[in-house]
Amino acid sequence: MQTKTDLKNFSLSQLESLSDELVGRKYPGRQLFQWIHRHNITEFSGMTSLSKEFRELLSENHYVSRAEIVNTMTSENDRTRKLLLKLADGAMIETVWIPGSNRNTICVSSQVGCPLACRFCLTGTMKLKRDLTAGEIAEQVYSVKSVLSGGDDFQNIVFMGMGEPFLNYDNVVAGAELLMSDHGLGVAQKRITFSTVGIVPGIYRLADSGLKTMLAVSLHAANDDLRSEIVPINKKYPLSELRTAMKHYADTTGRRLTIEYCLIDGINDTLESAKDLVKFIHDLPCKINLLAYNPAPGLPPEFRRPSEKSIARFTDYLYPRCPAVTFRKSRGADILAACGQLASNRNESV
């Protein structure tokens, strides 16, 4: 018995080629792409601009997947919305819509779980179950759009959800390209940010790809011993290698990096850690986003959110010495939707 193929993973050119093969014309493939990625239609019967012949031929060996929205949660504090999605094989992922004062953001996952086990991140406790496909990556945005109302939408997409994007580089880029296509949602490249915890080969690949997307690096410590303790992948890609890759990205693309730094009380929020960070970013065109650690069940009990005084001391030391420093208020912490709190394994019994 032949297994049907999911067309949600197909690029525009692949759908055009399939259309040419089945009905001798490429244009219906473009219409098919629009039905899937602009209108979020998954049943061929609903793709009314396609000929009956084309739809029947498609249904013989193909289908279009749709994730099941198992649960949605809305923060009472800031309207952040978290979706629990069940994929075709039963795997669960979480994605988050984050409202802002002048722009809204969708935080997208790239893997089911994560193999990197950063100590402040709940996703790492799941370990890696599998990579997401390009279609499953794009599907998260379509799912979020389907539950928004009252004029809510999104402007930015950040790959900061479950998983490490650069360990699933090809599918992540392919998923982003589905979202960026003018025949889909047409998301501007500069509105998409890939966030890596420091997968050096991925940084080089993105720098040399020609893509105009943005890059964020989750640093969290600028001392090798401390960073290796918090972010174990630092043992494979130490700070010297990471910094060289980041400089290559900045020099090659001409774009400013974003450095994400999660402050943990008594661990990496000291004045010494601030001095290490200032040394690390020397001559790197970057902005620094500071955020406070978000506790969650299952994370180390010795990890605590820093005090306001500690946050202010760290920020005040950086501000005159760094080109741009912001403190990012966590959104959705009351529904475990903030940075480091996503982990679908607690929901698998839903």
What is the set of active-site residues?
Answer: 94, 339
**Can you read off the two tokens belonging to residue 187?**
């998301």
C-alpha distances in angstroms, 295 versus 301, 302, 332?
9, 10, 12
Beta-strand pair 62-63/111-113: unpaired
Which residue type sits at 217?
V
- What sign results for the dihedral spanned by CA atoms 68, 122, 164, 315? positive
Which residue type sits at 339?
C
Longest dimension (CA), the chain: 69
> Residue 266 region, left (φ>0) first, then alpha (ψ -120 to 50), else beta?
left
The alpha-helical segments, DSSP class H, found in 24-87 are 27-37, 52-61
Cβ distance 65 to 8 under 8 Å? Answer: yes
What is the distance between the alpha carbons of residues 39 and 185, in angstroms, rounded to a whole number?
9
What is the distance between the alpha carbons of residues 49 and 35, in angstroms, rounded to a whole number?
9
What is the distance between the alpha carbons of residues 278 and 286, in angstroms, rounded to a whole number?
11
**Can you read off the two tokens belonging to residue 25?**
């014309």
**What residues have CB less than 8 Å from 42, skipping those under 6 apart?**
8, 36, 63, 64, 65, 66
